[in-house]
């Protein structure tokens, strides 16, 4: 499988009213715990928001992340590829954070999300080339893995 991203960031915000441990477990369900970092941001009213994120830079990490997404999410990316990859070759995807806490990965169209953003490798760096790279990446994810005979 060809390398398809320069980097991918997975990010969510944890608010004071939420169970932070549950959010951390949710992030660990998507990415390796060693790849996760946390920062605290202060809002305009003094309330703290926890930023939970992972920055992925290796092909195995991208593949592992996207393999965890159900076919419905991958199909959404394919069908909406024109809107998912911008002119700077950035892929955007938002998963419903509250559903993800329950182990269900669904595309979200609101603000309470797990944001997945990735800089697509495209040569030349044009949106149409990047979109094709993402479609190829997803197509390769869907192929059955060959059985190993050791």
Query: pLDDT digits over 4-47, tens only?
Result: 899 999 999 999 889 999 999 999 999 999 999 999 998 778 88
**The domain containing residue 110 runs over which residues?**
5-142
Strand (E) positions, 17-142?
Answer: 36-42, 48-56, 90-96, 113-120
Residue 9 within a domain: yes
Domain count along the chain: 1
Residue 150 lies in a domain: no
Alpha-carbon distances of 12 from 23, 31, 146, rounded to whole Å: 8, 13, 34
pTM score, two decimals? 0.91
Residue 107 included in any domain: yes
In a domain? residue 115: yes
The CA-based angle 27-22-39, given to 5 degrees, is 60
* The pair of three-digit structure tokens given for residue 116, joined into one six-digit string: 């997945």
CATH code for the domain of 119 = 3.30.1440.10
Q: Which residues pair with 15 in a beta bridge?
A: 49
Q: Is residue 147 in some structural domain?
A: no
Q: Is residue 124 part of a domain?
A: yes
pLDDT in tens, 60-99: 999 999 999 999 999 999 999 999 999 999 999 999 999 9
């Amino acid at each position: 499988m060809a390398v398809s991203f320069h980097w991918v960031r997975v990010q969510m915000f944890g608010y004071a009213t939420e169970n932070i441990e549950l959010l951390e477990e949710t992030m660990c369900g998507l990415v390796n715990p060693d790849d996760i970092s946390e920062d605290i941001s202060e809002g305009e009213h003094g309330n703290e928001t926890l930023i939970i994120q992972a920055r992925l830079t290796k092909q195995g990490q991208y593949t592992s992340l996207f393999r965890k997404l159900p076919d419905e999410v991958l199909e959404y990316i394919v069908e909406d590829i024109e809107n998912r990859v911008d002119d700077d070759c950035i892929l955007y995807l938002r998963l419903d954070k509250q559903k993800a806490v329950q182990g269900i990965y669904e595309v979200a169209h609101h603000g309470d999300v797990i944001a997945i953003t990735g800089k697509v490798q495209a040569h030349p760096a044009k949106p149409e080339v990047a979109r094709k790279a993402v479609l190829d990446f997803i197509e390769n994810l869907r192929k059955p893995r060959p059985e190993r005979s050791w």
